[in-house]
Every structure is written in C-alpha cells, then in structure tokens.
Copies of this chain bind each other. A is one copy, B any other.
Amino acid sequence: MLAGLEQLIATKSPYKLASRAFRERTIIRIGDVLLGGDDVVIMAGPCTVENREQLLQTARGVRHAGAHVLRGGAYKPRSSPYSFQGLGQEGLALLSAARAETGLPIITEVMEPGTIALVAEHADVLQIGARNCQNYPLLREVGRTDRPVMVKRGPGCTVEEWIMAAEHVMSHGNMQVMLCERGIKTFETATRHTLDLSAIPLVKQLTHLPVIVDPSHGTGRRDLIKSMCLAAIAAGADGVLIEVHPNPENALCDGAQSLDLDEFADCVAGMRLVAEAVGRRVPRRELVPA
C-alpha cells in the first residue's frame, strides 16, 4: 500500500489518493509535453478515425497549428447499435501511422477490459469515455496499466462521483490520471450539454490531478468552441481537447461540433494570449515541415 494511504482511508474525505492531502500536484509526461505544470496542452483531432487520408491530413494540420497531442476515436460508443462503431483495430493502426509521421502522441478511447492491451500498444493516453465514468471494472483494468489515463466526466456525474472514478483508477496502482470536463446534462437545450467550467478550480482545490476541458462535446456547437477554450484556460485548465476535422460538413460523426483547420488555428492563437494573461504558456513546437 502506498505511503500515507492508510491514514487517508481513515479520514472522512471520500478522496484518498486523488486528494491534495495526499500529494500537491501531479505532472504527466505525454510525448514531449508536460501536463499539469505551467504549460497548457492542446489535444486535437477528429471525433472518429475515418480513413488514412482524413486522419493524416488532420494530424498534419493540427500539428502545424500548434497541437501537442492527436485525438481520434477507433472504438466509438454510439447510442445506436446501427451507427458506425469506429474502425477498431484498423483505426488504431492509422493512429500509429499518424504518430510516426507527425511525432504527435496519441489519445484514444478504450471501451472494455478485453481491448485495453491492444489499445495500449498504440495509444500514449487511454481515454475513458463519459459513458464509462462509472464503469468500475474498466477503471480497475486501466488502473493496472502503465499508461496515463484521461477520465471524462459522465454527463450525469457530480464532481465528487467523477473524482471517485479517478480514485478507482489510482487505487489499482496507476497514478497518472487526468480529469476531463465535457459538459453535464441540464434542462438547457440550446447547447448539447452544459459545460461546467467551475469544475476546473473546484477539482484543482480538491485534487492534485490535471484538468482538461472538452468544449466540443461540452457545447455541441462549433460556434461556441473558441470562447469556451479561452474561458477554460482563463479558469485554470491544464489543457483542452478539441474536435477538428478538415471538412466538418462531411464528418461521419459530430461534424456540427468540429472546427475546421483554420478555425482551429485561430483558436490556438487566442489560447496563447489568454494563457500568457494567466501566467502560463502554450508551448510552441518547432514548425518543421511534417
């Protein structure tokens, strides 16, 4: 058992390993950036890996515009069993190819214990999707890997339940956990979900874990994403996760909430300025031709 945990378990706090009483700050290396320190980390890419050309075009584009991590779904949890469920293993291979070409580390979702090993061969960060925020067997199994894990907040989860999801991962030994706010269910219908930015300072007070914000799922509206990225960074987020597609109108999934490459570049430029205003920075990658 980890030093200090035993005493913490005796306390009333529901958070033990995730608590700031256990540790001051967690910094996670992803490729050549450090998440959770002074840098603001930008993760971008398509909702779904559709094909080689779409993925590589997006990867090159977001890298050129300043992204540090490439996101893309190979396994997609879809409300309907008749919708496209992702390319699966083929999608993972394409993500690996995109990393080889651009140098961008990969974050992608893992949906079930049985595919963790396979996903971990290709992914630098394992993403637990919002629908699986309280899927404890899955949290247990990613807790037994050595990969950083991003736990997305369930749309019906309180901040406490969400942090407890991180605690589940950590209690199995994996301390490299980051939390991702992506909107909660409310009565408001003008946006897909209600992005809860107050969760950023709240989580940073309660825990030592880095906090990411996903304004694409959080609002479901392309025209709100830049504003919410700037707000997230002003509120103290350690990173953002943005859906970008070279041609949002033709996306197989979630086009209505994807930026195109020009919009993404404009968004990154805005984030640089706000990051500096709050004493942080968006690290620049040297823009070698990719």
Residues of A at the B interface (CB closer than 8 Å) are: 9, 14, 16, 77-82, 111-114, 131-132, 134-138, 154-161, 164, 167-168, 171-172, 184-191, 194-198, 200-202, 205, 218-219, 221, 223-224, 227-228, 230-236, 270, 273-274, 276-278
Contacts and interface: CB of A to CB of B under 8 A. Distances in A.
Contact of A194 (B164, B168, B184, B230): B184
19 contacts: A9-B82, A14-B80, A81-B167, A111-B137, A113-B113, A131-B134, A135-B135, A135-B138, A156-B156, A156-B157, A158-B188, A158-B189, A185-B187, A186-B187, A188-B196, A189-B189, A205-B223, A228-B235, A231-B234
A190 B80 contact: no
A238 to B, nearest CB: 13
A184 B188 CA distance: 9
Contacts of A235: 227-228, 230-231, 234
A285 to B, nearest CB: 22
Contact of A156 (B112, B185, B219, B221): B185
A156 B154 contact: yes
A82 B19 CA distance: 14
Contacts of A230: 234-235, 278
Given A157-B156, A164-B79, A171-B82, A186 B189 contact: no
A16 B114 CA distance: 28
A272 to B, nearest CB: 9
B158 A187 contact: yes
- The list of the 3 closest CB pairs from A to B, nearest first, reads A156-B156, A234-B234, A112-B137
A77 B230 CA distance: 35
Contact of A236 (B80, B164, B227, B232): B227
B136 A78 contact: yes
A130 to B, nearest CB: 9
Given A82-B9, A113-B112, A230-B278, A191 B187 contact: no
Contacts of A136: 77-78, 81, 111, 131
Contact of A134 (B77, B234, B270): B77
Contacts of A233: 234
B202 A190 contact: yes
Contacts of A157: 156
A187 B156 contact: yes
Among A155, A221, A230, which residue has the most Cβ atoms of chain B within 10 A?
A: A230
Contact of A277 (B78, B186, B191, B276): B276
Nearest to A115: B137
A8 B136 CA distance: 35
Contacts of A232: 231
A160 B190 contact: yes
